Structure 1
Amino acid sequence: MTDLPHDDVFAKYPAEILIERKPHGVLLITMNRPEHLNALTMPMFDAMADIWEDVDRDLETKVAVVTGAGRAFCTGMDVRQADPTLDSAIALGKSERRRITTLLHMDKPVISAINGPAVGWGLSMALLADISVAAEDAVLADGHTAVGVVAGDHSSLIWPLLAGMAKTKYYQLTSAKLTGVEAERIGLVSLVEPRERVLDRALEVATNLALGSQGAIRGTKRSLNMGWLTSALPQHELSAALELIGFASADYLEARQAFREKRRPRFPSAHGEGRSVVVTGSSE
């Protein structure tokens, strides 16, 4: 990608995504909807796809740190939004592809400061960072099957590489929760810290990287990611396609309705009622 001057590179982002330049070329990105545990709206998903391209091009940025405002990291998609149409699900899939491929191709390191709950896409984003720092008591969950969709996002890509297939299948099939301490024990995250130390530790690591040999650090990241780029992306393409199909299912809409009504979902597919497609897209 062609380098851009840093002036106003990040000015286009909404208040829901805060950008702050730290010393030595560290860029802090904060998902900023604390009242909703930093759940993402559809425009925010698009912005989180764009931002990595801007980080990669920005002349001043050497290392990026991503975290959440308030007591959560990110709890994935905001289900308070309108039920998805086929068109919006397809658009989400396209932006997801950009989020993943840009992160894997960019040479600059990304560090996640998992300061609290991280669920669904939020957890996937945290784990796809090159280095992850989690709060000891942070609640982590893949969560996809709990809402009636396949574990897509980046989760099927990254979980087996970090924690192995046995742990991956348990946590992804059951949507069971785990703490930051347990995540570090099984290799899912890089470091674990008391909650009040998470961001400081992430920034310390980022500063250390920013002051190091940029050629050596970026080349190491590129060589490590090459295995993913050559072997794991077809798996992600399949999981993303299956997840998109799930967004068009009766199970998914039932999960959204159950969340709004604060009750346990009654999945049609679990009661012999099939998985009928119930959403429609625009014909235009």
Structure 2
Amino acid sequence: MGEAIQYECSNNIAWIRLNRTDKLNSFNEIMHKEMLLALKDAERNQEVRCIVITGNGRAFSAGEDLEGVTDDLDHGEVIRSRYTPVILQISRSKKPIVSAVNGVAAGSGLSLALACDFRLLHEKAKLVQAFIHVGLIPDSGNLFYLPKLIGHAKAMELAVFGEKISSQQAMELGLATKVITEDAWDNEVQSFALTLACLPTKAFGLIKEQLSRSWEMPLDEFLEAESYSQRIAGLSYDHKEGVIAFKEKRKPDFQGN
């Protein structure tokens, strides 16, 4: 894909690795472009049934590269043109997206992790709402996802004080799906992704869509959308395979369609 992002697909998993290691994988314009291209390719690729975003080196991402910040920089335009397309692509994906947070995730690096469907944290990872320390507000969808994960009051606390959150604290708050030890990191991330890649992918996409709708729809509209989604799921190959496997008392072999 390029130097800022390493991208590869294997075993039905798309691996997107942030690769500006000398800058703690902080974002610049090139990284945003390559990230968006990788996400779109993974979504189009019918062989891909799970997407993993992680960092090379000792950081997940330190957020925006502040060396590119000047007095006349339009921060709003940077968000609109660079970050928003990436966050929207993640939110619209029908495939499970995992952030494997291998080190510090600060600022928009934390926002990226929050936007993913699952968050695996290395035992030494740190999460930092760094925005307040440079006089900015959390962006890139941060305050959209954070209160939904941990509640309004705690989201306010983290946003205003910007303190470091350890992996164990993140687990207690509900920010982490799983905390993984250093020795087991590679194997457990791979195993988690493979588990997702073997699930009925179409059903996952519908679950993600329904969960998103649940925050904004009245109950009657939600139930109607639910019945429509269930109709789609019921027509899938994986539903038929699941029923047959149940009757035959064997493990289903889902194909993702």
What's the TM-score bracket when you normalise by the shorter of the two chains? 0.7 to 0.9
Counterpart for residue 204 of structure 1: 191
**Per the alignment, in what secondary structure is the counterpart of residue 52 of structure 2?**
strand
Counterpart for residue 92 of structure 2: 105
CA separation of 1:199 and 1:124: change in aligned 2, threshold 3 A: farther
CA separation of 1:101 and 1:82: change in aligned 2, threshold 3 A: closer
Q: Give me the TM-score of the superposition, normalised by structure 1.
A: 0.71
Deviation at 1:228, TM superposition (A): 5.3
Counterpart for residue 57 of structure 1: 44
Counterpart for residue 146 of structure 1: 133
2:166 maps to 1:163: no
**Per the alignment, in what secondary structure is the counterpart of residue 103 of structure 2?**
coil
CA distance in 2, matches of 1:187, 1:146: 24
Counterpart for residue 213 of structure 1: 200
Deviation at 1:124, TM superposition (A): 1.0
1:37-116 correspondence to structure 2 within 5 Å: 37-83=24-70, 85-86=72-73, 89-116=76-103
1:125 alignment partner, one of 99, 105, 112: 112
CA separation of 1:91 and 1:82: change in aligned 2, threshold 3 A: closer
CA separation of 1:204 and 1:228: change in aligned 2, threshold 3 A: farther
Q: Contact (CA 8 Å) 2:26, 2:61: kept in 1 or not?
A: yes
Q: Contact (CA 8 Å) 1:104, 1:229: kept in 2 or not?
A: no
Deviation at 1:59, TM superposition (A): 2.1
CA distance in 2, matches of 1:135, 1:66: 13
Which has the higher relative contact order, 1 or 2, with Cα contacts under 8 A spaced 6 or more apart? 1
CA separation of 1:69 and 1:53: change in aligned 2, threshold 3 A: same
Deviation at 1:41, TM superposition (A): 1.4
Deviation at 1:85, TM superposition (A): 4.0
2:6 maps to 1:18: yes
Counterpart for residue 226 of structure 1: 213
**Per the alignment, in what secondary structure is the counterpart of residue 140 of structure 1?**
strand
Counterpart for residue 20 of structure 2: 33
Q: Contact (CA 8 Å) 1:63, 1:209: kept in 2 or not?
A: yes
Deviation at 1:87, TM superposition (A): 5.4
CA separation of 1:102 and 1:138: change in aligned 2, threshold 3 A: same
CA separation of 1:89 and 1:108: change in aligned 2, threshold 3 A: same
Question: Paired residues, what number?
Answer: 218
**Per the alignment, in what secondary structure is the counterpart of residue 68 of structure 2?**
coil
2:166 maps to 1:179: yes
Deviation at 1:230, TM superposition (A): 6.3
**Per the alignment, in what secondary structure is the counterpart of residue 175 of structure 2?**
coil
One-letter amino acid of the structure 2 residue matched with residue 20 of structure 1: E
CA separation of 1:123 and 1:93: change in aligned 2, threshold 3 A: same
Counterpart for residue 254 of structure 1: none
2:178 maps to 1:191: yes
Deviation at 1:52, TM superposition (A): 2.1
CA separation of 1:229 and 1:30: change in aligned 2, threshold 3 A: farther
1:126-162, Cα deviation, whole Å (9 max, x unpaired)? 1211111001221110111111111111210111011
Counterpart for residue 243 of structure 1: none
CA RMSD of aligned residues (A): 2.0
CA distance in 2, matches of 1:87, 1:230: 34
Structure 2 portions without partners, runs of 5+: 219-257
CA distance in 2, matches of 1:26, 1:199: 14
CA distance in 1, matches of 2:189, 2:149: 19
Structure 1 portions without partners, runs of 5+: 1-12, 232-284
